[in-house]
Amino acid sequence: MCFLRKVCVPILFVCAVMTGHHALLAQQTVWQPSAGHTQIPLWPGAVPDARAAKGPEHMEAVTDPKDFVAGKPWVVVKDVSRPTLTLYSPKGKNTGAAVVVFPGGGYMELAIDLEGSEVCDWLTEKGISCVLLKYRVPEPRSRPYWGAYPESPMPLEDAQRTMGLVRLHAKEWHIDPHKVGVLGFSAGGHLVAAMSVHFDKRVYTPIDAADRESCRPDFAVALYPGHLSFRGGTLDLNPDIAKRISAQTPPTFLLQNENDNVDSVWDALSYEAALVKAKVPVEFHSYAEGGHAFGLRRTRYPATGWPHLVEVWLHTIGMIED
């Protein structure tokens, strides 16, 4: 994700918009879902591999218009040390399919609306249940960046735990346990790949019935994923992912812009090549322009039409029907 610039420029409209956002953040420092949705703690007791954050969980608004997406601001959550899931259920037709969503943020923060709740609103409109994971991103006191699995196991632990909880509660939540996928952006796209290869064993000590459920996704969607390329300019894949790809890796949808200056196109290319080599069904969409961190919001760039492409793909692989 891009670095945040928290400056309110002297433009009446922008300042008015951001005044509303600052008022919201002043009243609500810990992210809460919209009315009708309840957050559920992932862990019944102490979280595994707990790390202390620099401070309490809080939200920050992206206030510089240069960083707006489709002309609108967005919000990040920082210092998450107590992970939660939030269920968004379809309001009308229910296809039975479900998607666990991983917002991006460089494993340092979470783009909770841009790459989270807005995606859930789209999915539920299509009859697909959405589970928004607020996974751990506690920026450590000792250094500014803490990285991906295996250096930092906490996000993958949270993701595996969430998949188990979804399948454990599938009947109650009106979900087909054989149609549960994952979707993530940027660092969340890396978490999609990690979940796609680390499913045969929990990376934490199992604690209850949820951890006896399979944590293998039935399908995977990674949008401008990061942390996958081992060596830029080559198809060398991150060894942690490369050595675990097999025919059991779920069907995968990839999307990447070639001018992305945050996560290189080589991240997606190296992963696609490895999936093809392992004969894993993969659909890859590459675009010349469009940058990084656009979430679900439609802009002038063709890449932002990806939601329709994902819908068609889900039909193709038999996860949803007309």
- pTM (two decimals): 0.90
* pLDDT score recorded for residue 139: 66
Mean pLDDT of 206-226: 97
Q: Say what the pLDDT of residue 146 is.
A: 63
% pLDDT > 70, the chain: 89
* 243 pLDDT more than 60: yes
The answer to whether 247 and 288 have CB atoms below 8 angstroms apart is no
- Residues sharing a CB contact under 8 Å with residue 236, sequence separation 6 or more, in sequence order: 229, 230, 270
Task: Indicate the pLDDT class of residue 14, thresholds 50, 70 and 90.
Answer: very low
User: How far out from the chain centre does Cα 197 lie?
Assistant: 16
Angle, CA 135 vertex, CA 1 and CA 20 arms, to 5° = 60
How far apart are alpha carbons 160 and 270 in whole angstroms? 24
pLDDT at 141: 52
- Cβ–Cβ contacts within 10 Å for residue 209, how many? 10
Domain ranges of the chain: 40-56+80-316
Grade residue 263 by pLDDT with cuts at 50, 70 and 90: confident
pLDDT in tens, 43-52: 999 999 988 7
Degrees to nearest 5, angle at CA 61 with 59 and 62: 135
| Chain mean position to CA 275 | 20
Please report which confidence band the pLDDT of residue 142 belongs to, taking 50, 70 and 90 as the band edges.
low
Q: Does domain 40-56+80-316 have CATH number 3.40.50.1820?
A: yes
> Which tens digit of pLDDT belongs to each residue from 84-102?
999 999 988 999 999 999 9
Our separate counts of H helices and E strands in the chain read 7, 11
